[in-house]
Amino acid sequence: MDVRTTAEFIDALPKVELHVHLVGSASVPTVLELSRRHPGGGVPTNEEELRAFYTFRDFPHFAEIYMAVNALVREPEDVATLVTGLARDLAAQRGRHVELQVTPYAHHILGMPAAAVTEALDIAARTAADEHGVSVAYIFDIPGEYAEEAVKITLDHALDHPPAALIGLGLAGIEQSRPPHRDAFRDAFRAARAAGLHSLPHGGEMSGPETIWEIIEGLAAERVGHGINCLADPRLVAHLRETQLPLEVCPTSNVCTGQVADIAAHPLPTLLGEGLYVTLNSDDPPMFGTTLSREYHVAAEVFGLGEAELAALARNAVNASFLDEAGKRAIHAEIDALAATPA
């Protein structure tokens, strides 16, 4: 009888993605389609050149490349192309649900009306479910370095023209730019929560524990985007362990943006060893040469996680999502069935 390998188990494992950005999710074929649709934007139209284009010196350089690709998203059709492309890619990895971070401000500065963006997101979510079997929820994130202007644009879009699948407000971008605008971010998240949206900001990716404390205490975070630098503060680690506040951990991303020296140095094993609530995610997968499945392979190959631990991480993502209970039960049943199958 054939023996199942860990790699085969991962490939068959149903998965949920909680931390991935719309523009950053664009696979090479999708970006090539957009760059050829909108030539002259500085993004290569040749596959080999595009792959080289995705080599980053540091986080600011990554942000520059990200914005160059974002500039190709000029029409509602382009937004829908990104969402359905991600759904197609996730379906090939046994992806079942994604909570996708969209940056309305980035579309606004390119002149795209909020209502048109929302229409494209609504159409794309239906297509993703109907054609690829992937349910899509949206998180509107504020690029923190643009502060008050981005706050207003994002919040207005979320409250006045929300897509049907909008579930939360996020805060991304360069964390070191946030402190002078703390009150504006707090006010925005307070308004979003009052409207029934969840608080899903980034914190502790490129700055220290103080950023995580701020999103917990100031923004009432319900999950922490990244959060890997929590380990510098034992009191914070204890708080995260006690509350089981989910961390959206993105190992390959952290290496590619220079937050971790190499994958072997990633704190994933320490986070798990501390009893923290960890989910695995891809962040900006094609830009970082990864996929959601690849993050599970890394956890197995580099850190030695076995089938039971990998299944637990997959279950964590299901439970930390904002799927309805029926949706969660369905994915749990798939995971449990696979885990119960003898290796």
Q: What is the set of active-site residues?
A: 205
Structure tokens at 43: 């993004």
Count of helices and strands (H, E) across the chain = 16, 9
Angle CA 182–183–186, to nearest 5: 90
Contact, 27 vs 85, CB < 8 A? yes
Sequence-distant (≥ 6) Cβ neighbours of residue 265 within 8 angstroms: none
The whole-angstrom distance between residue 220's C-alpha and the CA centroid of its chain comes to: 19
Length of the chain: 343
Of 261, 272, 204, whose CA–CA distance to 19 is shortest?
204
State how far the alpha carbon of 304 is from the alpha carbons of 7, 66, 251, 274, in Å: 12, 32, 14, 17
Say how far apart CA 31 and CA 35 lie, in whole Å: 6
Say how far apart CA 201 and CA 224 lie, in whole Å: 6
Q: Is the dihedral of CA 251, 331, 18, 81 positive or negative?
A: positive
State the residue for tokens 């961390």: 247
Instruction: Identify the DSSP state of 227.
Output: -
Sequence-distant (≥ 6) Cβ neighbours of residue 48 within 8 angstroms: none
Say how far apart CA 267 and CA 272 lie, in whole Å: 9
Say how far apart CA 233 and CA 240 lie, in whole Å: 11
Say how far apart CA 155 and CA 162 lie, in whole Å: 10
Of 330, 321, 226, 325, whose CA–CA distance to 283 is shortest?
226
Strand pairing partners for 138? Answer: 100, 166
